[in-house]
Amino acid sequence: MGMAIAHIMASCMGGIRTAGDLVAWMQMTRKMKINEAKAYVAEKLGIEVFDLTNEEVMRELRKDLGLGTVTSIAGGPKGIRAKMKIAELLDIKIRSVELFKSQMGL
């Protein structure tokens, strides 16, 4: 994931603080250009593209949708559970999620 992390940071979208990780997932899994990826993620989240970089909006959204946050929220999803929600929301396959599901018989 080294290159993916570099890409998330280079896109200046704030990673998991905002929607940078979600946009990066679309760029990596669907080969979308950044503007197309932003539009797709914003549509899936039901917000405007402008709000993708708003930390206040995204923290609440990520909490409500179970997508994980930088600082954990008591009872909120973390790790693989958050990744499963992301894969479901964006309609993508994440290798670690698929591996976890196969090992758990899901």
The model carries a pTM of 0.75
Average pLDDT, whole number, for the chain?
86
- pLDDT at position 78: 84
Question: What percentage of residues in the chain have a pLDDT greater than 70?
Answer: 86
- Dump pLDDT digits (tens) for 73-96: 888 888 889 999 999 999 999 999
Query: Rounded CA gap, 96 and 81, in Å?
Result: 11
Position 11 pLDDT exceeds 80: no
Residue found under tokens 């591996």:
99
- Dump pLDDT digits (tens) for 15-43: 678 898 899 899 989 999 999 999 999 99
Reported as half-sphere exposure (CB side, CA atoms, 13 A), residue 79 has a value of 3
- pLDDT at position 10: 53
The answer to whether residues 41 and 57 touch, using CB atoms and an 8 Å cutoff, is no
